[in-house]
């Protein structure tokens, strides 16, 4: 029997998929922003794992050579994947207020870095160091909160990638690290059979939303749309920080 709770989840994931399809980013940020009103952060992360992986694999396949992208960003890939895996295993032991603040900080950084993205161009001689730094920071955030986009996005923006390449690279990196995140949650015991089943069912609204978002991507004012939802992400992130510090 389908419960009212599932209809709410269906609507949230449909909307999340739409934003992902339209903008290429923001799926875990949006989903966690709403789901943390209903569940504890680690339960919310477990629910979105399959949607994150599947949506980003879909995004990664649209464009050029996936292998070329992996080779170009191999240091980020390695360090982010290992950090996500390690932190995901121990994340269940982190106190709830710390998790709330961590999710809130991740969302706030994501929103602010996207809203005010004046980032200097990266010199090639610093590329390896930038990849490692972004990988470690992103991996720690990702293992706790499933949001490791801000460090990666800042790094990619500094490379001055064109839009389609930028979106595909995000998809490739997120796809690979999602596998390590899921593995960490399986080992920690937080991805239960029940949560896995619900998460798998929610792939349906996620892909419907992505299909709709992709269809209108080139016919909408994406700059204005992005700005509105980044402001929403910022407010949601600040509220989570407040909840973690003050309770409630």
Q: How confident is the model at residue 107 (pLDDT cuts 50, 70, 90)?
A: confident
Average pLDDT of the residues of the chain: 87
For the segment 162-185, the average pLDDT, to the nearest whole number, is 90
Nearest CA to 109 among 85, 134, 78? Answer: 134
Query: What is the pLDDT at residue 243?
Result: 83
DSSP annotation of 125 reads G
Residue 247 pLDDT > 80: no
Query: What is the pLDDT at residue 4?
Result: 86
Query: What is the pLDDT at residue 194?
Result: 93
**Which residues have C-beta within 8 Å of that of residue 22, sequence separation ≥ 6?**
213, 214, 216, 217, 220, 222, 225
Take residue 41 and report the two structure tokens written for it.
Answer: 């952060």
Other C-beta atoms within 10 Å of 92: how many? 13
Q: Are 85 and 144 in contact (CB under 8 A)?
A: no
Other C-beta atoms within 10 Å of 32: how many? 27
Residue range 133-163, pLDDT digits in tens: 999 999 998 998 888 888 888 888 888 888 7
Nearest CA to 147 among 101, 193, 203, 92? Answer: 101
CA distance 6 to 12: 10
Residue range 5-61, pLDDT digits in tens: 989 999 999 999 988 888 777 788 889 888 988 998 889 999 999 999 998 898 888
Query: What is the pLDDT at residue 182?
Result: 95
Of 135-144, 203-212, 227-236, where does mean pLDDT reach its minimum?
Answer: 227-236
Q: How confident is the model at residue 83 (pLDDT cuts 50, 70, 90)?
A: very high
Q: In 146-162, which ranges are continuous DSSP H helix?
A: 149-158
Query: What is the pLDDT at residue 164?
Result: 79
Residue 1 pLDDT > 60: no
Query: What is the pLDDT at residue 204?
Result: 96
Residue 2 pLDDT > 80: no
Q: Are 67 and 76 in contact (CB under 8 A)?
A: no
Residue range 88-98, pLDDT digits in tens: 999 888 888 88
Query: What is the pLDDT at residue 117?
Result: 64
Helices 41-60, 193-201: crossing angle, 10 deg rounding = 40
State the pTM of this model. 0.85
How many CA within 13 A on the CB side of residue 218? 3
């Amino acid at each position: 029997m389908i419960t009212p709770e599932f209809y709410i989840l269906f609507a949230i994931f449909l909307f999340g998929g739409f934003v992902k399809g339209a903008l290429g980013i923001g799926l875990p940020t949006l989903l966690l922003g709403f789901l943390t009103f209903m569940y504890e952060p680690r339960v919310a992360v477990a629910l979105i794992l399959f949607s994150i992986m599947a949506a980003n694999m879909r995004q990664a396949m649209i464009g050029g050579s996936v292998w070329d992208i992996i080779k170009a960003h191999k240091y980020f890939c390695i360090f982010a994947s290992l950090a996500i895996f390690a932190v995901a295993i121990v994340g269940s032991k982190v106190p709830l207020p710390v998790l709330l603040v961590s999710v809130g900080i991740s969302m706030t950084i994501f929103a602010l870095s996207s809203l005010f993205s004046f980032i200097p161009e990266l010199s090639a001689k610093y590329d390896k160091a930038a990849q490692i730094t972004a990988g470690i920071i992103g991996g720690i955030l990702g293992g706790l909160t499933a949001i490791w986009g801000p460090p990666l996005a800042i790094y990619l923006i500094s490379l001055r990638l064109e839009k389609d390449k930028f979106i595909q690279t995000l998809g490739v990196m997120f796809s690979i690290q999602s596998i390590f995140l899921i593995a960490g949650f399986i080992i920690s015991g937080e991805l239960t059979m029940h949560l896995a089943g619900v998460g798998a069912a929610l792939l349906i609204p996620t892909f419907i939303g992505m299909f709709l978002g992709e269809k209108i991507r080139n016919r909408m004012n994406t700059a204005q749309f992005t700005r509105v939802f980044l402001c929403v992400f910022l407010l949601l992130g600040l509220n989570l920080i407040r909840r973690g510090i003050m309770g409630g």
